[in-house]
């Protein structure tokens, strides 16, 4: 009964847009990341609305940027983008504001996602440009047998007790943010000129404390299990927890008190959309239970309507990724640190 009513309400919502469109079959063109719009999820939307949905997938931020910038024939009605990347789309005037009131399922979202103002980059001059959809935070994974009590700070990565038993991520942008967090910076994405040296020192100290740095989730799991590691900086979040549990490791997962770096993917509507109302209907639909479950059970990604399965919700805050002050410099310095250069050599011109 409730189901029927909901469907009816949905139909009422989108009816004007269908009627308003031409007599030909209405098509919604979605540009998303793998796992964001699985065939069965799309089918349910099509069955309900009678529109045709064409989903294209991207595999990198660059690819996404290129396609949204593409000429008129390759238009999209709605696309998924993380909050950090979203900023340049707004700057380049490639996206249009979203009518947040039309997304009625926002009421189902957790409060931290409902309050759009609290998430940096979503609201500009009072206008909402994106609706949160899925996220992954970079918490700490620890071996329950070796690490007691559970770590509550990223400082654990530098803890000499775990020397040679720490596995960290091989990436400059995130690692400098991590160092900035350790140094107590409010905004880890914006280092001041005098912060660099300290951050480099911290990262060299991290290098000297770790067993190894990884780039791929599976690689981290192999290192962790083969070498009896104690701590793992989870750049891929709960996905790595799942993999480790599958490998038989007895691990815990925490959001440190400094806050976990997190990426947040949102739905945004490009300027070139041909059917903004239908795009909003799609966004509204993806906030329902089924699409949300698909994200968490199939992809190991968190959805915005349910508290994270690992019970980390509320333990610490999430620090949404933002564009950094100088990504090139971070990566350049990190390259040197990763190669094993000593302090003077890292900071050398």
Partner 1 sequence: MRFGIAARLALLLALVGVIASGVTGFYVYNASRTLLIQSSKSELLTSTKVLASRIVVAREEISRNLQLLSGHPDALAALDAAFDAPDTAAENRLAILFEQLMAVNPNYFQIRLIGAAEHGLERVRVDRGSDEPLRVGGEDLQEKGHYPYVFDTLKLAANETYLSRFAINHEQGAHAGLGRPTAQLGMPVVDRDGHTRGVVVINIDLHGVFKELSAGLPADFKLYLANAEGDFLVHPDPAQSFGFDRGRRILVQDEFPSTADLVLNKSPQVLLEVSSGSHSDLPVVAAFISQPVSIHSDESRLILGLAEPLATVLRQADALGNVILQIVLGICLACVLIAIAVARAVTRPINSMSLALRDFTAGAPMSALPTERHDEIGLLARSFGALSEQIRRQLSELQQRRHELEHLAQHDTLTGLPNRALFADRMEQALASARRDNTRLALMFIDLDDFKPINDERGHAVGDLLLKEVGTRIRKAIRESDTAARIGGDEFVVLLRHIQNKEDALAVAEKVRQSINQPILTDGPPLIVSASVGVATFPEGGSDEIELAKNADRAMYRAKQQGRNDVVIHQPAGQ
Q: Does the footprint of partner 1 cover residue 160 (CB under 8 A)?
A: no
Q: Does the footprint of partner 1 cover residue 161 (CB under 8 A)?
A: no
Q: What is each CA distance from 129 to 13, 132, 157, 219, 270, in whole angstroms?
A: 21, 10, 36, 36, 10
Residue 311 or 340 with smaller CB distance to partner 1: 340
Number of residues that bind partner 1 (CB under 8 A): 21
Residues 207-236 within binding reach of partner 1 (CB under 8 A): 207-208, 210-213, 216, 222, 227
The CA distance from 244 to 250, in Å, is: 8
Residue 262, helix vs strand vs coil: strand
Least distance in angstroms from the C-beta of 297 to partner 1 = 24
Residues 225-284 within binding reach of partner 1 (CB under 8 A): 227
Residue 202 or 207 with smaller CB distance to partner 1: 207
Residue 106 or 207 with smaller CB distance to partner 1: 207
Contact 288, 49 (CB under 8 A): no
Residue 123 or 212 with smaller CB distance to partner 1: 212
* Nearest to 131, CA basis, from 278, 229, 325, 265: 265
Least distance in angstroms from the C-beta of 220 to partner 1 = 13
Who's near 242: CB < 8 A, 6+ residues apart?
300
| Interface region with partner 1, contact rule CB under 8 A, candidates 19-27, 121-129, 308-316, 332-340 | 332-340
What DSSP element (H or E) covers 128?
strand 127-128
Gyration radius of the chain over CA positions: 22
Q: Does the footprint of partner 1 cover residue 165 (CB under 8 A)?
A: no
Residue 186 or 348 with smaller CB distance to partner 1: 348
| Interface region with partner 1, contact rule CB under 8 A, candidates 12-20, 148-156, 204-212, 263-271 | 204-212
How many CB atoms neighbour CB 325 within 10 A?
15
Q: Which residues of 247-264 are buried (b: 16+ CB within 10 A; e: fewer)?
A: eebebbbbbbebbbbbbb
- The site map against partner 1 for 282-321 (x = CB under 8 A) is ----------------------------------------
Least distance in angstroms from the C-beta of 87 to partner 1 = 22
Half-sphere exposure of residue 77: CA atoms within 13 angstroms, side-chain side: 20
| Interface region with partner 1, contact rule CB under 8 A, candidates 88-96, 102-110, 281-289, 333-341 | 333-341
Least distance in angstroms from the C-beta of 235 to partner 1 = 14
Residue 28, helix vs strand vs coil: strand
Q: Does the footprint of partner 1 cover residue 339 (CB under 8 A)?
A: yes
Least distance in angstroms from the C-beta of 339 to partner 1 = 4
Q: What is each CA distance from 36 to 27, 55, 103, in whole angstroms?
A: 18, 10, 18
Residues 38-97 within binding reach of partner 1 (CB under 8 A): 59-60
The Cα diameter of the chain in Å comes to 71
Q: Angle, to 10 degrees, between the axis of helix 289-299 and the axis of helix 276-286?
A: 60
Least distance in angstroms from the C-beta of 215 to partner 1 = 9
The binding site for partner 1 (CB under 8 A) comprises: 59-60, 164, 207-208, 210-213, 216, 222, 227, 335-336, 338-342, 344-345
């Amino acid at each position: 009964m409730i189901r029927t009513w909901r469907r009816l309400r949905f139909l009422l919502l989108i009816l004007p847009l269908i009627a308003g469109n031409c007599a030909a079959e209405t098509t919604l063109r979605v540009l998303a990341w793998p796992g964001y719009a699985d065939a069965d999820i799309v089918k349910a939307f099509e069955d309900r609305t009678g529109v045709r949905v064409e989903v294209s997938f991207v595999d990198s931020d660059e690819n996404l940027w290129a396609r949204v910038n593409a000429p008129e024939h390759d238009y999209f009605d709605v696309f998924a983008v993380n909050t950090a990347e979203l900023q340049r789309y707004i700057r380049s005037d490639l996206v249009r504001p979203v009518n947040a009131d039309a997304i009625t399922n926002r009421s189902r979202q957790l409060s931290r996602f409902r309050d759009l103002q609290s998430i940096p980059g979503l609201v500009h001059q009072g206008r909402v440009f994106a609706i949160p959809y899925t996220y992954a935070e970079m918490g700490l994974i620890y071996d329950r047998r070796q690490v007691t009590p559970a770590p509550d700070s990223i400082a654990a990565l530098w803890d000499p007790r775990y020397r040679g038993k720490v596995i960290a991520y091989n990436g400059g942008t995130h690692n400098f943010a991590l160092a900035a967090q350790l140094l107590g910076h409010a905004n880890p994405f914006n280092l001041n000129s005098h912060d660099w040296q300290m951050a480099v020192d911290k990262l060299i100290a991290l290098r000297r404390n770790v067993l190894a740095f990884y780039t791929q989730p599976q690689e981290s799991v192999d290192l962790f299990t083969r070498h009896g590691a104690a701590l793992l900086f989870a750049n891929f979040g709960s996905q790595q927890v799942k993999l480790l549990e599958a490998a038989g490791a007895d691990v815990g997962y925490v959001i440190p008190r400094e806050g976990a770096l997190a990426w947040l993917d949102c739905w945004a509507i490009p300027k070139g959309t041909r059917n903004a109302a239908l795009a909003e209907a799609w966004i509204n639909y993806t906030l329902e239970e089924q699409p949300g479950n698909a994200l968490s059970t199939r992809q190991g990604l968190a959805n915005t309507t349910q508290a994270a399965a690992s019970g980390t919700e509320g333990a610490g805050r999430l620090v949404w990724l933002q564009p950094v002050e100088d990504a090139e410099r971070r990566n350049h310095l990190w390259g040197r640190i990763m190669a094993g250069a000593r302090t003077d050599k890292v900071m050398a011109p």
